[in-house]
Every structure is written in C-alpha cells, then in structure tokens.
Structure 1
Amino acid sequence: MKTKFKPLLFLITAFILVTNCENQSEGHNDVLNTSFLIDYRSLNGAPDGMAVIDLDPDSPRFGSLISKLELGVGVLPHHIYYNKDAKKLYTTALGGSYLYQVKVEDDQNGMPKLISATPVDTGENTVGENLFFTNDDRFFMTFMGGAGGLKDGSVGVFNANNNKLIKTIKAPIEANPNKFIMYPHGISINEEKGLMMVTSTIHPDLTSGMGNTCTLVDLNTYELKETYQVADSPTDLSSPVEVLLLRGKFPQYALATTMLGGDIWIAPYNNTTKKYDAFSKVFDGSTQGLGWALEMYIDDNSKLYVSFADPGKVLVFDISNLPQLKLLKTFKADKGAHHMAFFKTRSGKEVVAVQNNLLNLPNLNSGTISVIEIETGKTLGTVDLRARYGILPESIEGTNGPSSYMHH
C-alpha cells in the first residue's frame, strides 16, 4: 500500500508546493506594485522619516504603514530617488545631513521593509533638493542653500559608485548677474546634448529672496552657458521650481513650472546655437483659477501631468504638438497637490497617486494622498496621514523602482 500511494503523495505534495510558491510570488508582486515610499515630516515633535504605505484602494491594507524608518527631528526628508539601475535608493533632505542612501529589504512576508539610512557627505552644500543620475556614473544634486549665503546656491557633482563629492558648481549672481546659479531646486539633464538646466526658486527660509530664472550648464565642463528669464518681467519673482529637458523620442524642448507664477513655460532647443532659445509662457494658470504649479511627469504616450498646489489639481496635457499644449483632463486632488506615482490596482485600474502637501505651508498642506483613476478622473480613495498618523507626506516613489516614465 505504501509503495502504491507514494507516487500519488509525491504529486500532491509537489502540486501544493508549486501552488503555494505561485501564490506567494503573486502576493509579493501585488504588495510591491501597490506599496509606495513616502518621505514624511512629523507634526508632534517626533523624528521625521520615511515610510512604506499601501496605496491600492482594492487592498484591505489601504492607507496602512507597512514599514517606518525614523531619520531624526528636523531632518525634513524631501525627495526620493533611485540610481540608474534602481538598485540604490536615496532621499534628499532640507535638514540633517541633506542626503541619505536608504537600505530596503523584503521581510518574511515579501513586504518591503526600511532597514537603515546612511548619510552622504555633501561638503559645504546645504538644503538638499533634487537629484539626477547620468549614465556615466555621476549624479548631480541641487542645494538651494549653497554654503549658506543670502544669495547662495550650488550644484554638487557626485561619484555614483561611492557617493563621493567630486565637485561643487557655484556661480554667484554677485560675480555675474547675467550667468548665475541661485537657490537651485529643479534640475534636468539631456545627456545626448551634454546639457543640464537648473531653476532659481527661493531662499530656503522662504522670505529672504526669490528667483525668476533657469540656468543652462555644460554637463562636462560645468561652465554656465546661459541664464534665462522665466517670468513676465525682470521684477516678476515667479520662482521657477521644476524644469524638464525633454529627450529621446519627445520633441526637444525645455519645460518649466513657476511656483509663485503658477504657470508653465517652454523653450525650444536650437540646433545652431546648441542651446535653448528664450522661454515663453505656454500655459497661464491664473486663467484657470490655478496657482503654485509644481511637478511635471511625462508618460510614454506624450501626456504631460502637472500638479497645481492651489487649489489642488492635476492637469493632463497632450505634448505631441509642442509648442502647443492641449489640455485633456483635469483631476481634483487636495490642496498642496505635489508629487505623483503611477500604478495599476489589483483590479486593473490605471491610477495616479497624488501627494498633497507643500512644505506644510498654510492652505497648501492637506496632508493626504489621493488615488485617482486616470480614465475617469474619479477619486478611488484618499489617505489622510495628518489625521491618521500625525505626519505630512513630503514626496512619493515606488518600492521597486521609479513609479513614472519621466520626471525630471
């Protein structure tokens, strides 16, 4: 009898093992694809940090914090990035050490768990903002505070293999009012053209000074090529916040959003001068009752997603006929609409998660994350982190790589 049933028992056992493995793998992928990293600030004096949160409205864990990593009181982690092959994770910070490499592992249930954060030495550079990783093992980082001067600001060049600071790019406005770097926040790079552009946004204290320009820099010599006005006039302190150099299959333009202007600006690439021509306003937010234009994301179907913190909306444009922008859809988020993450729910809906908070500024700090169906514009779920956890989300990113096609 034992001999007779042994093959059958083996087959049953094998089937169970294979089925379990498939289910575990499927569940693991579900968790990773619908869980996201957020930087957060504490509202009750506790340390700021990073967390992993489930954002699938179909999930019983929707809105739950899966893992949490405290970075310290006043660190104010700000933007989350992966390196080129998505094997290293970083967060910039407005305080603390300004840049951290973060270690993430899967726990025994296949859920992402935040393990530790290692500070990166940024030299004299302060107030960390945006990163850009290039294919030649460098990464570039904007420092809105520079070395701490009233009209300061810098761009750090780092070795992407060991995180060592290679060079600090500085160009004070006092030295040359026509070509300078001041309060840099946004950064974008077109490697094929060997060009980098950074914005001039606002002094870190948000009151001592404001910018209204973008500056073009040679990616290899680090020499400044031109500083462009991105404002209605020299006295219009529009505060360009993000810049995007379109590349690859997309039309070769530079796009910029103005934080205080609430607009979108555009500049065409000039093949003769090997620079960009002057910026012009392509979308006036005030005509739509919109202000505080912030982040830009491009999908692979020539759609541009732009967040407007006031009153909290995401606009979707067609960019296939630039320099014309065709408005396709408007999504309602919450006040402070800022960063976005794109994913598919367990039920197959294409959605965008919108992080609604800008620096805890009054009336721009809802502290929520809205999950919006892209096809219908319907809000499928909202997580109120302020009420639920006493924290405000500062940024958002995927747990298994970038959650957008093109950001900066």
Structure 2
Amino acid sequence: MKLNLNKVVLFIVLIIFINCHDDNHNSDHPHDSLFYIDYRSLHGAPDGIAIIELDPESLNFGNISHKLELGVGVLPHHIYYNNNAKKLFTTALGGSYLYEIKTEKDQNGQPKLVSATPINTGENTVGENLFFTNDGRYFMTFMGGAGGPKDGSIGVFNANNNQLIKTIKAPIQDNPNQFIMYPHGISVNEEKGIMMVSSTIHPDLTTGSGNTVTLLDLNTYEIKETYRVADSQTDMSAPVEVLLLRGNFPQYALATTMLGGDIWMAPYNATTKKYDAFTKVFEGSTQGLGWALEMYIDNTNKLYVSFADPGKVLVFDLSDLPQLKLLKTLNADKGAHHMAFFKTKSGKEVVAVQNNLLNIPNLNSGTINVIEIETGKTLGTVNLRTQYGILPESIEGTNGPSNYMHH
C-alpha cells in the first residue's frame, strides 16, 4: 500500500512539473491572443489604437485593456512592425499620415501603448501601406500624393531615423503607359531588386479609379512597367493589394481588385527581369463575391483572401501555381478585411477577421470574428460598434507579426 501511495505522489509531482515546464516554455509570449487594432470613433471622439483580447476561451474575450488616442479625424489605417519586429508603426488616412508607436510591457508581461510620434511625410498625403527592407529603408504608399486629382506617390524613408529620403512620383499626365496613381498596395522582392504598387482609387472615392499595377526598380526607383489588371482599358477594377511571392514560393505576382472582386496573377520572367501579363485566376462574381481585399499567407503556406462583400475569407493552395486551388471558404461579416492568425488557449488554430472597410455602408459591420480554420466554425465575435462605439480599421499581434507573409 505504501508503494502505491508513493507512485501516486510521484505521478502528481510529475504532472505538476510538466505543467510548470509548459508554462515556462510559453512564457516568452504569454499574451499571444492580445492584439493591436487601429480604430475610428463613431461619436466624434479621438481615433486611435487599442489592445484587445481575442481568445474566445478567455474570460476577457472582447475586452479592451488599453487605448492610445491619436486625435479626431486621424483615421489610423494599417499597423506594421519593422523588419526585426522591434518597432511598431501605423499609417493614417488623416492627421500626420504616419506614426511610430511606442509600446512597453507591464510587470505581468502585458503590452501597453505608451505614445505616438508623428513622422514628417513631406508633401505626401493619405498614408496607406508600408514595406520594410533589410537595407535600412522602408517604403510607403500615399494614395493622395500631393493632393491632385490624378496624384499619388511612394515615400522612401530611412528606417533608423524615420527621415524621408525621397518621394517617388510618376504622373500619368507625363506618361500614360508608365505611371503611379492612387497607390495603395505595395510588395517588394529584395532578391530580385523590384517593387510593385497598385493603382486603386482617389481618396475621396469618387474623383477617379485605377486599373493597373506598376513595377519599379528597388534601387533606381525607375519604372520598369505598368500592367493592366482589368478586363479592359475602361474597366476600373481598382487593384488594391499586390503580393510578390518570394523565397521558396513559385515566383508569381498576385493582385486583388477591389471593384472587380477578383484575383489576378502574373509569372516572373527571368529573361526580361519583369513579370509577364496579368491574367485573372479567380473571378469573385461567379461565387457571389465582391470587393476582394487583403492577401495573407499563414504558417502552412496557404493563401487567405478576404472578400468584403458579403464577408468571406477564401483559403487557397499555393503549391501548384499557376493553378490556384480553392480549399475552403470561411464565413465572416460584411466588410471582411484584415486578418490575424493565432492559437486559442486549448490549441485551436484560428483566424481573427476584422470586418470594416472605410465605414462604407454595407461593408462596415464593425466586428471581429474569430474562426476555427479546420472546421470553419465561428468561435466568437466582438462587436466593437455596439460595445465601444468604434470601428476596427486593422489588426496586428502584440508579440510580432500575426502572419507569415502579408504583402
């Protein structure tokens, strides 16, 4: 009897040790289900950044633990880490258009927002996307450019001091075959020394739209080619995001079209050192989908594409390009936009989908869905519109990028 009791005690001690070891193993990232969100106020209060718990298995699910106000009408838009994930930035459609965000951890390892430092963007207005390269630069698209009706620019910044090095401009008025106009999406392949930006829509959403993407030399900033990403010259498809696949991925360029609602693809040509023509590889309207927006790759090398109307995330296989095989469709709310990937406390692989696009009617649910990837089941939904009087604009992890590749 004594021997059996000793075995029981030994077993209990072993279980405690294993549990303690697991806790220590995970202590580097104790809050992987806490996320930064850019938000806009619906009631005239300052816009800003918040920290929110998104694990449906947490008692704090949907709770905002911290907020940093940026100002009325700033409209923060996209959150980014720099290339070593040591610095945090947000672009903005108003205000100063670009901010570096200082964060800290409290005594419990909880992240908190400390301050926002405006960065001088020169004449460039309406900040959209960032891309950090490994040589001390970062690039930013400005959909408004200097404010003209057919404007748009790319800012080149020193990543060490945030100084604007150069503004890249190529007006369509100067060359209708090679130009930059209303740039939104940006992607870089550093190994090949190339960068691509999309031509989306004028910031007022009415003055004009684009239907092209433009390839540039990463070092000379010269335009290599402007490609049509539309069914015809008059089809204003509004390409919104671009993704240059790189590394071990097949070397293709991908683009989503906001008004077209489609996915387009172009193969890299090693002879010309450019991409060949873009072709449509997925037509959203055939499946009742519109407003194709973001492209993310998770840690299993699957491509996730959000469709704001009616609110879906489609998951594709990238292993047999140029064939883009649809694996599954996840249901989100209207305005499905940015995504973040994480595991719940019990280990379920989930994607959090932020549902709001510029507060456009019928595309502005103001929710965040947490969806189990394997089953497609929505495990929880936070309604920021009703709970906090705000709309989420974008989402990012508090322990570093919450995806494998975004653009």
Question: TM (normalized to structure 2)?
Answer: 0.94
Contact 1:153 1:181 in 2 (8 A): yes
Contact 1:367 1:393 in 2 (8 A): yes
| Mapped partners of 1:65, 1:369: distance in 2 | 13
| Mapped partners of 1:267, 1:235: distance in 2 | 20
Amino acid at match of 2:238: S
Greater CA deviation, 24-33 or 197-206? 24-33
Q: Deviations over 1:20-64 (max 9, x none)?
A: x98986786565201000000000000000000000011001000
Q: Deviations over 1:347-381 (max 9, x none)?
A: 00000000000000000000000000011110000
Q: Give the 3-state SS of the residue equivalent to 1:32 in structure 2.
A: coil
In the alignment, what sits opposite 1:67? 66
Alignment of structure 1 residues 241-256 onto 2, 5 Å: 241-256=240-255
Amino acid at match of 1:76: L
| Mapped partners of 1:141, 1:381: distance in 2 | 34
| Mapped partners of 2:389, 2:23: distance in 1 | 33
Contact 2:156 2:167 in 1 (8 A): yes
| Mapped partners of 1:109, 1:302: distance in 2 | 33
Q: Deviations over 1:68-92 (max 9, x none)?
A: 0000000000000000110000000
| Mapped partners of 1:140, 1:356: distance in 2 | 26
Contact 2:78 2:92 in 1 (8 A): yes
Greater CA deviation, 300-309 or 95-104? 300-309
What is the deviation of 1:108? 2.6
Amino acid at match of 1:154: S
In the alignment, what sits opposite 1:265? 264
In the alignment, what sits opposite 2:100? 101
Contact 2:304 2:313 in 1 (8 A): yes
| Mapped partners of 1:320, 1:268: distance in 2 | 14
In the alignment, what sits opposite 2:338? 339
In the alignment, what sits opposite 1:319? 318
What is the deviation of 1:109? 2.6
Contact 1:40 1:77 in 2 (8 A): yes
In the alignment, what sits opposite 2:394? 395
Contact 2:256 2:292 in 1 (8 A): yes
What is the deviation of 1:300? 3.8
Q: Number of residues paired by the alignment? A: 391
Structure 2 residue ranges without an equivalent (≥5): 1-16
Q: Give the 3-state SS of the residue equivalent to 1:287 in structure 2.
A: helix
Q: Deviations over 1:78-132 (max 9, x none)?
A: 0000001100000000000000000011123321110000000000000000000
Contact 1:80 1:92 in 2 (8 A): yes
Greater CA deviation, 304-313 or 22-31? 22-31
Amino acid at match of 1:50: I
Amino acid at match of 1:106: K
In the alignment, what sits opposite 2:10? none
Q: 1:66 to 1:28 in 2, by over 3 A?
A: farther
Q: Give the 3-state SS of the residue equivalent to 1:359 in structure 2.
A: coil
In the alignment, what sits opposite 2:170? 171
In the alignment, what sits opposite 2:190? 191
Contact 2:299 2:403 in 1 (8 A): no
Contact 1:291 1:309 in 2 (8 A): yes
| Mapped partners of 1:163, 1:304: distance in 2 | 32
Amino acid at match of 2:89: Y
Amino acid at match of 1:227: T
In the alignment, what sits opposite 2:235? 236
Contact 2:306 2:312 in 1 (8 A): yes
| Mapped partners of 2:145, 2:139: distance in 1 | 14
| Mapped partners of 1:22, 1:273: distance in 2 | 54
Q: 1:300 to 1:109 in 2, by over 3 A?
A: closer
| Mapped partners of 2:140, 2:315: distance in 1 | 28
| Mapped partners of 2:334, 2:111: distance in 1 | 29
Alignment of structure 1 residues 7-406 onto 2, 5 Å: 31-406=30-405
| Mapped partners of 1:159, 1:399: distance in 2 | 24
Amino acid at match of 1:367: G
Contact 2:56 2:380 in 1 (8 A): yes
Contact 2:121 2:164 in 1 (8 A): yes
| Mapped partners of 1:302, 1:336: distance in 2 | 24
Amino acid at match of 2:77: H
What is the deviation of 1:403? 0.2
| Mapped partners of 1:104, 1:22: distance in 2 | 28
Amino acid at match of 1:361: I
Contact 1:30 1:346 in 2 (8 A): no
| Mapped partners of 1:235, 1:248: distance in 2 | 35
What is the deviation of 1:245? 0.1
Q: 1:27 to 1:197 in 2, by over 3 A?
A: closer
Q: Give the 3-state SS of the residue equivalent to 1:59 in structure 2.
A: coil
What is the deviation of 1:158? 0.3
Contact 2:298 2:341 in 1 (8 A): no
Contact 1:31 1:54 in 2 (8 A): no
| Mapped partners of 1:97, 1:24: distance in 2 | 42
Contact 1:66 1:111 in 2 (8 A): no
